[in-house]
Amino acid sequence: MLLIPCPWCGERDESEFTCGGEAHIRRPPDPDALGDAEWADYLFMRANPKGALRERWCHAHGCGRWFNVERDTVTHEIATVYRMGDPPPGEDGS
């Protein structure tokens, strides 16, 4: 069982959450200029590291809010949790 610390509700069982995939994927600035291959890359190609990965999670059966989690994909250990819109820890100069 994975315990996920919601920034608003505290630590809860993973069954209360929904994973939204990799975090910090930016929409292309000029979507009309993209061809099919570029759209496919944007929509479907994601990092699949063995190790640290930043993901979006929603506390679906709780407060309903989205937040980011940095999780090790091998051990499932959660290194950090931060709110949507906040920079990842270590990237804001702190």
Say if residues 61 and 79 touch (Cβ distance below 8 Å).
no
Q: Where are the domains of the chain?
A: 20-26+36-94
Residue with tokens 């640290």: 52
The predicted structure's pLDDT at residue 69? 97
The predicted structure's pLDDT at residue 92? 64
State pTM to two decimals.
0.86
Chain segment 10-29, per-residue pLDDT in tens: 999 999 999 999 999 999 99
* Region 28-49 average pLDDT: 93
Residues 6+ positions from 36 with CB-CB distance below 8 Å: none
Domain 20-26+36-94: state its class.
alpha beta
